[in-house]
Amino acid sequence: MIKHDYGLEYSISFRKVDPNDSQILSEFECENTTIRNFARYQSISSPKDVTYIFVDNENKTVISFCSICCTGISITEFEEDDEDKPYNSTIPSIEIDFFAVDERYRSLPLDENSGRYDTLSNALFLYMIEHIKKIASSVVGATHICLYAVPKAKNFYKRCDFVEFSEYMNRDEKPFVKNCVPMFY
């Protein structure tokens, strides 16, 4: 891999995965085995997710990937006339099933003037959020973005304006990765 000091030094392309990407995805490095295996072996053919990748054009490696799907956030509401009568409602949402940055790129500052959190990882995630917002407003009409954060990444997502599920939101019974924290934007 060619050594760069800053994230802005990379020539990066962004696109949806295709079957020709299996070789570069097989080299994706991530400390979480479930996330790494999804990127390597399932991201191209997942029946429910659409996966996008950020590619280092110089090295032909995957810098980051993000898999999204349509979902809903289940909430418990109460009848206006009868506070003892709860009912479930669903908020249309797009879920980020997986987002990860390859270990080799994870903590790169954007440039020499970058603050502690001005990293390539943060920039790629915020770019993905903007892409999801476009899909939400022009294709599916979703109003929220949700995800289940691995505990180590919870503060990263909070810095990107995600918040933990409120007490009236019903979390999924079984998230992909153990001990994940449900969050939404």
The whole-number pLDDT of residue 167 equals 64
SS3 175: coil
CB 38 within 8 A of CB 98: yes
Length of the chain: 185
The whole-number pLDDT of residue 72 equals 82
Question: pTM for this structure?
Answer: 0.85
Full pLDDT tens readout for the chain, 185 residues: 556 777 778 889 999 999 999 999 999 999 889 899 999 999 999 999 999 999 999 989 999 999 999 988 887 777 777 667 777 788 889 999 999 999 999 888 887 887 777 888 999 999 999 999 999 888 888 889 999 888 888 999 999 999 987 665 666 665 556 678 888 89
Q: Measured between alpha carbons, how far is 81 from 178 in angstroms, rounded to an integer?
A: 39
Q: Measured between alpha carbons, how far is 49 from 69 in angstroms, rounded to an integer?
A: 5
The whole-number pLDDT of residue 176 equals 57
- Any long-range contacts for 101-104 (C-beta under 8 Å, 24+ apart)? 101/63, 101/64, 102/28, 102/29, 102/30, 102/61, 102/62, 102/63, 102/64, 103/29, 103/30, 103/31, 104/1, 104/29, 104/61
SS3 156: helix
Backbone φ, ψ for residue 143 (5° rounding): -110, -15
The whole-number pLDDT of residue 174 equals 57
The whole-number pLDDT of residue 3 equals 65
The whole-number pLDDT of residue 48 equals 92
Q: Measured between alpha carbons, how far is 80 from 155 in angstroms, rounded to an integer?
A: 36
Q: Measured between alpha carbons, how far is 181 from 164 in angstroms, rounded to an integer?
A: 7
Please name which of 114, 111, 126 lies closest in space to residue 157, comparing C-alpha atoms. 126
Torsion of Cα atoms, 33 then 35 then 39 then 45, to 10° = 110
The whole-number pLDDT of residue 161 equals 93
Exposure class string for 64-100: b at 16+ Cβ within 10 A, else e? bbbbbebbebeeeeeeeeeeeeeeeeeeebbbbbbbb
